[in-house]
Structures are given as structure tokens and as C-alpha cells.
Amino acid sequence: MKRFSAKTRAEQVLVGRVARRFSMEDIADIKDQFMHVDIDRDGSVTLQELEQAVDKIRSASDGGMYRKSNYLVDAFLGADADCDGKVDYMEFVAATINLRQRSFQNPSKVKRKVREAFDAIDTNEDGYIDAEELEVVRGCN
């Protein structure tokens, strides 16, 4: 997620649109991961829930001996595309797909989904996503 957080908001919006184009079958394992992290089952993940999930994983693997860094905060803020302080399911999917984009078994499928998402945002069909088009799909300034 750290690489995802370094992306511009425009890139995050596009990745989010790509994520929405995958079938539930394509992202079933991501749903399982999200359900594990969404401790209170409210459909979104807070930074505290993400930290708790990572703490469980880390303590199981290293006996609890690790130092927290800003990595989780950076990753969380990067995944929170609409800046509401929570990562909802589609934001989680988008960040995870972005991390996995090179590991999909069918890279041409990812390219096709990216093109479809780009075309959906590029409403004037000029081959660019301009500020007005981005404002339509963007959730925060």
C-alpha cells in the first residue's frame, strides 16, 4: 500500500475505477482479507483496525518484537481515496489490486480493465483526463 499512497489522487481514482471492473470471483481472496481487517464489520477499515490486524500478524511471526513505523499510516492515507478517515471495501480492493497488478495470471485482463476505466472517466474522449472529468469522480479536494 505504500506505493499506492505515493500515487496522485488522479491515479488512485483510476485504480479505484479499475477495481470496480473486476468480478467478485477475481477478487474473492481480497474480500477475505478485508473481512479479516474490518474487525467491527461496519464495511470500512479504520487505521486502528489496520494496526490491530497487523499487530496480530506480526506478533505471531516475530513474537511481538517489532517497531511500528509510519508505513501503516502512509499506506492507510494512500488507500483512503475519498479522505474520509476510513478505507471502504472498494478502496481496499483498489489498493490491493494496485499492489498485485503484476502478479495477476492474465496481465492483458488488467490492461483491458485499465483502458475501460480510463475511457469511462474520459467522457469527452480526447485521450486525457482533465480536471473537470476528474472532479466528477473524485471524492475529496
CB-based burial label for 5 (10 Å; 0-12, 13-18, 19+): middle
Q: Element (H or E) spanning 44, and its range?
A: strand 44-45
| pLDDT exceeds cutoff 50 at 6 | no
pTM: 0.62
- Per CATH, the number for 2-137 is 1.10.238.10
pLDDT in tens, 69-128: 677 788 888 888 888 999 999 889 888 877 776 555 566 777 787 788 888 888 899 998
Question: What pLDDT, on a 0 to 100 scale, did the predictor assign at position 62?
Answer: 56
| pLDDT exceeds cutoff 90 at 49 | yes
Distance (Å, whole) CA 95 – CA 110: 14
Q: Where are the alpha helices (DSSP H) in 101-139?
A: 107-121, 131-137
Among 79, 77, 89, CA closest to 38: 89
Question: What pLDDT, on a 0 to 100 scale, did the predictor assign at position 141?
Answer: 43
Q: Do the beta carbons of residue 92 and residue 45 sit within 8 Å? A: yes
Residues in contact with 14: Cβ distance below 8 Å, sequence separation at least 6, in sequence order:
114, 117, 118, 121, 129
